[in-house]
Structure 1
Amino acid sequence: MSERVAGLPEGQYADLDNGHRIHYLDQGQGPVIVFLHGSGSGASGHSNFKYNYPWFVEQGYRVIVPDLIGYGYSDKPDDVEYPLDFFVECVHQTLQTIGVERYSLVGNSLGGAIAIKYTLDYPSLVEKLILMAPGGLEQQADYFTMPGMQVMKEVFTSGPMAPERLEDFIRRGLVYDDSVVDAHLVSERWGIFQQQNSQVITTMTVPELTDRLGEIACPTLAFWGVNEKMMPETGIMKLAKGIPDIRLTLVSQCGHWVMVEHRELFNRQTLDFLQNG
């Protein structure tokens, strides 16, 4: 059981058929939106989407915000490997346990790759798909050429970890305007990071899904920060040309976290897409 982290809300837990336990927030009533967060040290659903999911509750939606396996308050097994299909399996079993039948998926980074694979595996369950610089569009080695990955390597291998090192990576690797990085965000992520083990990072494998994007039939909205440092920009045209029914928004002065750096734009455009397609 994960220890509570100051300022990081605790919701409910789903005991899965595969034996793992997943933490999730479940708020509001109405059409269901599932938010799938990215990877990285100390990541959690709330920390990724705290500027978004409460607003959608106010707009009349039911939001489900799980912590992915290995993250947040969810189980962090150190005796399994973490291929993409394992994340998809845990998300699917969580939603089955909750009892929701149709939903729109929102995913950024690793969460975007999970959302793409989930939509391919369970097309009848996904109404709409919203992606923010998703993974799964390149060979894994290509990501490690990106400047944000170089920052991550520099920060995390140059000495003992401390909150200041984690903050340095967030400021230099994940965002364009680091004024969005406050002490509360760093504290949330540091609290979870201290409870994580390295297994999820060292064994995570995300295959390239580009050749299968044409199978995605549901309407899709994608965002991409022009100043992205983590994901190769070749992914932009792979999405644009690969998914048959897609609207793609390029956001200037924006890094990897469009839903944080440009939260109002992200919320408005996503709401319009959910309402009008």
Structure 2
Amino acid sequence: MNYLCLFKRISATILVLSIVQFSDAQQNSPIGTNLETIDYPYPTRYLTLAIQGESLKMAYMEVIPTTPNGETVLLMHGKNFNGAYWEQTANDLAAKGYRVVIPDQIGFGKSSKPNRIQYSFQLLALNTKQLLDSLRIGKAHILGHSMGGMLATRFALMFPAYTQTLILENPIGLEDWKTVVPYQTVENWYKSELAQTYDKIKNYQLTFYYDNKWKPQYDRWVHMLAGWTHDIDYPRIAWNSALLYDMIFTQPVVYEFGNIQSPTLLIIGQRDRTALGKALAPKEVQKTLGNYPLLGRKAAEAIPDAQLVEIDGIGHLPHIEAYDQFIRPLIAFLKAHSSN
């Protein structure tokens, strides 16, 4: 018997089992209601807000450039994410002289998960303005991805004087789903959220975000959601998520695009087919929902002074999946609309 070969096989088996066990442990380990065990790329600060009878903390990161150019970029995250996924974007913007502010909205990431709250995009926009006021920032470039695009739009509509430019990266809400998708109650959303698992979350992102092409760097975004499912406070987290889905579904901004006053850039990954509640719509309707090539062009036509950048073959997260194709038009747009 070749003992060396046997030893190598046993060692390889042990290594594989160790990796599998580590992966399982990572998937099954709670991460804290406010991501207490998760490290963010920059120090986390907090703004205390009094909202609907509760004292809540809004987490945010701030990146101060070595050589400031006098301008600020505010980065707004999507529904299934938090501010941490803007790390590379923030690094490059700061290198260009921009001050960067990255909030976790209430209900997300390291921010408070309320016991009771009525969510609205107006509320989240007002919270964001209070954050800018606390930092003595009177004007900023407002960039929103996915749900953050809906929020960025609402912010621009409510506070045009604060909005130097508006940048929308694959925003959801470019169509009004409630006109064709049956309504789900908050209880329905809550039941769905309680049934979430690591595999369900990963498979959703694999299918709808990354075209069934997974990379190891995507794991952290799954873990930040799946880890919550093992937390003792997960029912509260899931209830907040359900309320937020109801907010997204029932509060469209698409009808107000014509009222936007700020120069606007749309960056649209053309493979994206995201649409809230699509599976609940009739089969013939499902095929028409989330058509981002068409929706992006319609939005660019509706928004005054809008510029459209289409990224072929890329899905819902250009700044994660195709960063170079995302950052180049963003930097060019910011430079073209500098106030200096």
**Alignment TM-score, normalising by the size of structure 2:** 0.71
**Quick check: 2:193–2:238 contact (8 Å CA) kept in 1?**
no
After TM superposition, the structure 1 = structure 2 runs for residues 201-212 of structure 1, keeping only pairs within 5 Å, are 201-204=241-244, 205-206=247-248, 207-212=251-256
CA gap 1:21/1:69 in 2 versus in 1, 3 angstroms: same
**Quick check: 2:143–2:166 contact (8 Å CA) kept in 1?**
yes
After TM superposition, the structure 1 = structure 2 runs for residues 35-74 of structure 1, keeping only pairs within 5 Å, are 35-40=75-80, 43-47=81-85, 49-74=86-111
| 1:209 to partner: Cα distance | 2.2
Deviates more, 1:105-114 or 1:195-204: 195-204
Structure 1, residues 240-266: CA drift from partner, whole Å, max 9, x if none? 111111111111111110111111121
Aligned to 1:268, which of 305, 324, 328? Answer: 328
**Quick check: 2:194–2:238 contact (8 Å CA) kept in 1?**
no
What SS class does the counterpart of residue 52 from structure 1 fall into? helix
Q: Does 1:254 align with 2:314?
A: yes
Q: Does 1:162 align with 2:194?
A: no
Alpha-carbon distance between aligned partners in 1 of 2:303 and 2:241, rounded to the nearest angstrom: 29
Structure 1, residues 188-232: CA drift from partner, whole Å, max 9, x if none? 343456565123332232322233212212111111111112142
After TM superposition, the structure 1 = structure 2 runs for residues 173-192 of structure 1, keeping only pairs within 5 Å, are 173-176=208-211, 178-180=213-215, 181-191=217-227
After TM superposition, the structure 1 = structure 2 runs for residues 57-136 of structure 1, keeping only pairs within 5 Å, are 57-136=94-173
Alignment correspondent of 1:238: 298
Q: Percent identity?
A: 22
Alpha-carbon distance between aligned partners in 2 of 1:258 and 1:211, rounded to the nearest angstrom: 25
What SS class does the counterpart of residue 230 from structure 1 fall into? coil
Q: Does 1:137 align with 2:146?
A: no
| 1:238 to partner: Cα distance | 2.9
Give 1 or 2: higher helix fraction: 2
**Quick check: 1:107–1:115 contact (8 Å CA) kept in 2?**
yes
CA gap 1:157/1:218 in 2 versus in 1, 3 angstroms: closer
Alpha-carbon distance between aligned partners in 2 of 1:219 and 1:32, rounded to the nearest angstrom: 15
Structure 1, residues 60-97: CA drift from partner, whole Å, max 9, x if none? 11110101110000011131122222221221222222
User: Where does structure 1 lack aligned partners over 5 or more consecutive residues?
Assistant: 146-152
Aligned pair count reads 265
Q: Does 1:5 align with 2:37?
A: yes
What SS class does the counterpart of residue 198 from structure 1 fall into? helix
**Quick check: 2:152–2:166 contact (8 Å CA) kept in 1?**
yes
What SS class does the counterpart of residue 88 from structure 2 fall into? coil
RMSD value, Cα: 2.6
CA gap 1:119/1:159 in 2 versus in 1, 3 angstroms: closer
**Quick check: 1:14–1:98 contact (8 Å CA) kept in 2?**
no
**Quick check: 1:109–1:135 contact (8 Å CA) kept in 2?**
yes
Q: Does 1:226 align with 2:296?
A: no
Amino acid at match of 1:136: G
**Alignment TM-score, normalising by the size of structure 1:** 0.86
Alpha-carbon distance between aligned partners in 2 of 1:174 and 1:143, rounded to the nearest angstrom: 23
Q: Which has the larger radius of gyration?
A: 2
User: Where does structure 2 lack aligned partners over 5 or more consecutive residues?
Assistant: 1-32, 183-187, 276-289
**Quick check: 2:35–2:224 contact (8 Å CA) kept in 1?**
no
Alignment correspondent of 1:150: none
Alpha-carbon distance between aligned partners in 2 of 1:63 and 1:177, rounded to the nearest angstrom: 32
Higher relative contact order (CA 8 A, sep 6+): 1
